[in-house]
Amino acid sequence: MSNLKAISGYDRYLFHEGRHFRSYRMLGAQQGERAGVKGVRFAVWAPNAREVMVVGDFNGWSGEDKMRRLKSSGIWELFVPGLEPGALYKYQIVSAAGDVREKADPYAFWAEVRPLSASRVFGLDGYRWGDSQWQGGERLTGGVNKPMAIYEVHLGSWRRKTDGSFYSYRELADELSDYAADMGFTHLELLPVAEHPFDASWGYQATGYYAPTSRYGSPDDFKYFVDRCHQKGLGVILDWVPGHFCKDDHGLRMFDGSPLFESGWPARAENQGWGTLNFDFGKPEVWSFLISNAMYWFDIFHIDGLRVDAVANMIYLDYGRQEGGEWLPNEHGGRENLDAIAFLKKLNEAVHYYYPRALVIAEESTAWPLVSRPVYLGGLGFDYKWNMGWMNDTLRYVSLDPIHRQWEHRLLTFSLLYAFSENFLLPLSHDEVVHGKKSLLDKMPGDYWQKFANLRAFFGYFMAHPGKKLLFMGGEFGQFSEWYEGRGLDWLLLEYELHSKLHGFTRELVRFYRDDSCLWENDDNWRGFEWIDCHDSRQSVISFLRRADNDEHTVVVTNFTPVVRHGYRIGVPEAGSYREVLNSDRAEFGGSGVTNDELRAEPQAWHSQPFSVVLTVPPLATVYIKREAMREE
């Protein structure tokens, strides 16, 4: 057990400067020994408090254990001997005005199961990891020249037990990791696991930033989950919410009787659209709290990446706000949140300094430039940016009746005007299958068969378009109802033929994507993409090439109408025999079975290519074609 030294002046200095990136080792409930006595050192930042006490089940929740304020600091400290892991505690804080409130520890590593809200003492370093191979370099890094197919999951509703209760982290560790690995996904992305009081917030309104939610088990159970994923070859990305927090009384709001983590200006603090409070990025201690939290998930839980939620809300002071008093401009009169921008840059610099292979992904929905470019080049420093424009355009397009798609062809082609301005990730996320938006399958027009055909065609196009991939759970087998966090997915649908065949198609598609370097090796530049024909709006057919570094190419053709296109000629770059390598209309996938045998390239120039092939394009389908010699090589 470690020796609990006094909190040093240098630690306090770094914390108050916003540069203590391991402040979770200083604050919170730290187990160890002091003068040979085992116990717990409690430490909390509460600069405007008149008095702070530790209350818990070990002292009858009385205020007898008073903390002392460290010199020239807003940090309070107390060593309590004899405490064991699992002990419950809170901080009882007397404000400058004399008000008394009980608060959960902002740095608590574990919490009670909601609706209870006390913090729990927990030791961080007792788990024995088994992912040395993964950490040693065998993992998929998710770099721009690597495949990345992410399966987005809400742990509480991927599956539920027959009595409606949750699967635990350890149960999910086996079932979910086996399933995702079998499907061919490279990463799991988890909706936020930080402790949160309200199930329907999905974790996006947190109270315990350092506590994996106790709904599914202990912090060590969550470590086991990540460990098991790594052993199955899956990276783990966490959704992370550094922009705002919920207002529950036991959380961060008015923590020491004053607006501490939030701004003192209501126009800056209040997030009326979400009913939350924005972090005040003008306070260096908030930087230490949040950047340390990012490091904590990498250090302690071996995660592989963070998806940063609602970046637009952070970088724009007027995001979701009306003119006339709802927001305050910056010191230059602009709407940019200069403090938040500086914070994001420092966050990404720090994470990538300590974890060069880490992924930090921005959910950013505006035209802010250079989101995924390094800080030293003037960017925000993220590795990837969600391509919300592509998502909105294509989902709008595929929701149209095919007879109307010819008039909206630009929705398919516009994304290539900016496809390489950022390192993009294409998201088909949870946000697109809730609140009346319908499930992916139910968005598709037409009769029962056409809905499935549309979705398979769309998935084929999605996997071939430049950018990394993300698919929310349930989409892979055609969940018909919208996602609802209060129940598990409708796995019984796999007993029905078209759902089962769609599931098989998704598995083969994801695996093909991983195996075909043409689809990901040049995701960030024009070398990897070339239009064959982007102009056939009348027939709603698009065709393009994806290229690997060695000039191997994959031809992609998608027909977004239910009409078979016979004798359809497309240009190809080389002579030789071409063959279908994937066709979403194959009968085994639930299609009509319109396929092509060997295709011989003719020396007839077409579509600005020196050769061409003539094929039959199946209805509502995507076809991948490769030159036979390439396949043999």
Of 232, 222, 254, the C-alpha closest to 182 is: 232
Give whole-number Cα distances, 32 to 4, 29, 35, 87, 429, in Å. 6, 10, 10, 14, 43
Residue 631 has pLDDT above 70, yes or no: no
pLDDT tens track for 380-413 = 999 999 999 999 999 999 999 999 999 999 999 9
422/20 Cα distance (integer angstroms): 30
Which CATH entry fits the domain spanning 526-632: 2.60.40.1180, 1.10.10.2840, 3.40.50.2300, 1.10.10.10?
Answer: 2.60.40.1180
Distance CA 498, CA 476 (A): 12
Amino acid identity, residue 215? R
pLDDT (average), residues 113-121: 97
SS (H, E, C) 288-313: HHHHHHHHHHHHHHCCCEEEECCHHH
Encoded tokens for 329: 């401009």
> What confidence tens digit (pLDDT) does each residue in 368-378 have?
999 999 999 99
pLDDT at 629 over 80: no
| Tokens representing residue 302 in the block | 């071996």
d(CA 529, CA 548): 9
Distance CA 260, CA 253 (A): 8
Q: What is the pTM of this model?
A: 0.96
CA nearest to 105, candidates 29, 40, 53? 29
By C-alpha distance, which of 541, 545, 528, 546 is closest to 621? Answer: 541
Find out whether 125 and 109 touch, Cβ atoms under 8 Å.
no
Q: Which of 69-73, 147-151, 164-168, 566-570 has the lowest mean pLDDT?
A: 69-73
Q: Please write the tens of the pLDDT for every residue from 468-508.
A: 999 999 999 999 999 999 999 999 999 999 999 999 999 99
Q: Which residue has the tokens 């007898």?
A: 64
The closest alpha carbon to 92, from 60, 116, 115, 63, belongs to: 63
* Residue 624 φ then ψ, to 5°: -105, 135
Please state the rounded mean pLDDT for residues 172-178.
97
Q: Do domains 9-120 and 526-632 have the same CATH topology?
A: yes
The model's confidence at residue 141, banded by pLDDT at 50, 70 and 90, is low
- Tell me the two tokens of residue 583: 């066709």
Q: Are 252 and 106 in contact (CB under 8 A)?
A: yes
Q: Which two tokens stand for residue 350?
A: 């720090």
From the centroid of its chain, how far is CA 230? Answer: 17
What whole-number distance in Å separates Cα of residue 430 and Cα of residue 239? 12
Instruction: Tell me the average pLDDT of the chain.
Output: 95
Residue 372 · residue 383 · CB < 8 Å: yes
* Neighbour tally for 66: CB within 10 Å: 12
Encode 166-211 in three state secondary structure. ECCHHHHHHHHHHHHHHHCCCEEEECCCEECCCHHHCCCCCCEEEE
What was the pLDDT predicted at 633?
46
- pLDDT class of 6 with cuts at 50, 70, 90: confident
Give the residue-averaged pLDDT of 131-160.
89
Interacting residues of 241 by C-beta distance below 8 A, sequence separation 6+: 192, 194, 203, 204, 205, 206, 309, 310
**Selected residue with higher pLDDT from 197 and 141:** 197
Cβ–Cβ < 8 Å for 75, 16: no
Scan for tokens 């194959």, then name that residue: 586
pLDDT exceeds 60 at position 563: yes
Give 5's pLDDT tier (boundaries 50, 70, 90).
confident
**Domain 9-120, architecture per CATH:** Sandwich (2.60)
Neighbours of 406 (CB within 10 A): 15
Q: Where are the alpha helices (DSSP H) in 280-387?
A: 284-301, 311-315, 338-354
Helices (H) and strands (E) in the chain, counts: 15, 31
What ranges in 52-137 are assigned the alpha helix state H? Answer: 132-133
Alpha carbons 218 and 238: distance in angstroms, whole number: 17
User: Where in the chain are the domains?
Assistant: 9-120, 526-632
Enzyme catalytic residues: 309, 363
